[in-house]
Structure 1
Amino acid sequence: MPDQLHNPIESPEFTDIDDVLAALDQIIDLSIKENSTAALFAYVYRRTTAKVKQGIEEGRFDDNDRMELFDVAFAGKYIEAYWQYRNGEEVPEVWEQAFSPAKDNQLILQYILLGMNAHINYDLGIAAAEFSRDGNIQDLKADFMLINQLLEELVDEIQGRISRVSPMVFLLDWMGKNNDEAIINFSINKARGQAWNFAVRLTEAPQSHKADIIAGVDQKMTSLARLVSNPPGFFLPKVLGVIRYFETKDVGSVIHNIQQKNP
């Protein structure tokens, strides 16, 4: 964890999705100023949140008002973890892994996947279970799964934009044909499927068991994060080193380039 700040910055308050977008902008701007890789996941998550907002405005969900409330609750998990970590407070271990990988030893894609792992595989199930306090979690399932489609629409866009600042990242696609390592085959659909199963387990479990279930998922997803950060074997780490060598290193330049609609 970082050293305790002399003047800790408080997590911003927000009540709707526009407040969430503003809070994410704050994280991105601060991270760019500090040349912190925290900006990378924050940017991708901002795009995801904007995509959900667009889906709400287009009426794509069964209950659009409910989806906005749920998205705000879900986003709050990440934003709270960010400020807690920044202020030297304890965070779930999976977020510890996402926020503190070796700064000179990760790809742009790895930083993003570490954030996605923590927020989807861990936060999302908890947020969904908490949002369904009456136990009717199945009422949320259709809208929960529709977000998969919105994310799939976003994934290709983000991958294409990452290639502008990581020109050798295509090597991962080439290797992925014959490799099952986490860095290559991290799946949004599988992650959200796992998150849904986690949410159902939490909802159905007795109160006395919930903490153990959450701790177990934290441990499991922390192990996955370690594989993403440090994949085993000989050949794959060498390829990651080649990709990393050719990547843009300045965080502000990375964000600027992937923000552009056209190359």
Structure 2
Amino acid sequence: MEALLAPLEADRDPARFFLGTYLRTTRAVGVALARGRFEDPAWVTAWDVDFARFYLDALEAYRTSPDAVADPWRLAFGARPGLPPEAHVLLGMNAHINYDLPQSLIAVIPAEHFGSPSLLDRRRRDHERIDDVLAARVGEEDVALQRVGGRRTPLDRLLAPVNRGASRVFLRESRRKVWASTHALHAARTEGAAAYAVRLADLEAVSAERVADLLRPGPVLVRLALHGFGVTLD
């Protein structure tokens, strides 16, 4: 992440905003691991690395061939550079959580583990504990984004506590939907590679629709309140 961030900053590439946030969040997860915040730290470490791989692969692929990445990332990376930093972060978070996270959970939770309710519950609880790490970062990330050009009107400053509270609600809501999407992908993989490919294409489509919705002009928080942050597979 550090190696990728330096050239993005040198090029003034807006992708630097999400990558900077992700780097700081990854360090915070490392601290939480060291402090024993998770039930299975070895699994969380492996999952954290695997999850980041989806984003980093997409970022590097987009810089050489934009059409080679999945639609949620193509839309997020291709957003207008003049958008405020927090908008680029929101788009990256949306693509990464809604589209990449269920795939990563499928990769690090073997099919047979879905047959063990107690083990699956441990995975779910550690998955939800990441929310605590993210929620604790909201205030500091708000300040960090202001330093790199985030726009704050007097009304924004007045509503900051509301926006931070809303961010925590949206994160919890998306995590619940991600867990449901993970079960849907697992059910598909038990049917075979073809069924999994179809379900993954469904996830790509609804995730891209959510990113596209966030790109429309108008108040983003209102649309998030109406439609949610996460996506649901029918």
The TM tier, using the shorter chain, reads: 0.7 to 0.9
- 2:22 is matched with 45
Contact 1:117 1:225 in 2 (8 A): yes
Alignment partner, residue 58 of structure 2: 81
CA distance in 2, matches of 1:173, 1:228: 22
1: distance between equivalents of 2:71 and 2:157? 29
Q: Quick check: 1:136 aligned with 2:113? A: yes
What is the aligned partner in structure 2 of residue 152 from structure 1?
135
Cα distance, 1:146–1:185 mapped onto 2, change above 3 Å? closer
- Could you state the TM-score of these two structures normalised by the residue count of structure 2? 0.79
Q: Which moved more, 1:160-169 or 1:112-121?
A: 160-169
On the 8 A contact 1:122/1:218 being kept in 2, the answer is: yes
1:222 to partner: Cα distance: 1.2
Matched, 1:216 2:193: no
- What is the letter of the counterpart of residue 153 of structure 1? A
Tell me the amino acid that sits aligned with residue 212 of structure 1: V
The percent of aligned pairs where both chains have the same amino acid is: 24
Structure number having the greater helix percentage: 2
- Structure 2 gaps, min length 5: 115-119, 221-234
Tell me the residue number matched to 1:251: none
**Distance change >3 Å, CA 46–CA 126, structure 1 → 2:** same
The residue type equivalent to 2:3 in the other structure is: Q
CA contact (8 A) 1:44 1:158 kept: yes
* Letter of the structure 2 residue corresponding to residue 64 of structure 1: P
Aligned counterparts of 1:145 and 1:61: Cα–Cα separation in 2: 10
Q: Which residue of 2 aligns with 1:166?
A: 150
- Preserved contact between residue 121 and residue 221 of structure 1 (Cα < 8 Å): yes
Q: Is the 8 A contact 2:84 2:151 kept in 1?
A: no
Is this contact kept in 2: 1:163–1:170, CA < 8 A? no
Match of residue 246 from structure 1: none
| Aligned counterparts of 1:47 and 1:176: Cα–Cα separation in 2 | 21
| 1:213 to 1:83, Cα distance in 2 relative to 1, 3 A | same
Counterpart of 1:95? 73
Please list, as runs of the form range in 1=range in 2, the aligned pairs for 1:189-204 lying within 5 A after superposition. Answer: 189-204=172-187
Q: Per the alignment, do residues 148 and 167 of structure 1 end up closer, same or farther by CA in structure 2, a change over 3 Å counting?
A: same
Aligned mates of 1:200, 1:39 — CA distance in 2:
32
Q: 4+ residue stretches of structure 1 with deviation over 3 A? A: 169-178, 183-186
- State the shift of 1:157 in Å: 1.5
Change beyond 3 A, Cα 1:46–1:140? same
Report the residue type matching 1:99 in the other structure. Answer: F
Partner secondary structure for residue 68 of structure 2:
coil
Is 1:33 the equivalent of 2:19?
Answer: no
Which structure 1 segments of 5+ residues have no match? 1-23, 238-263
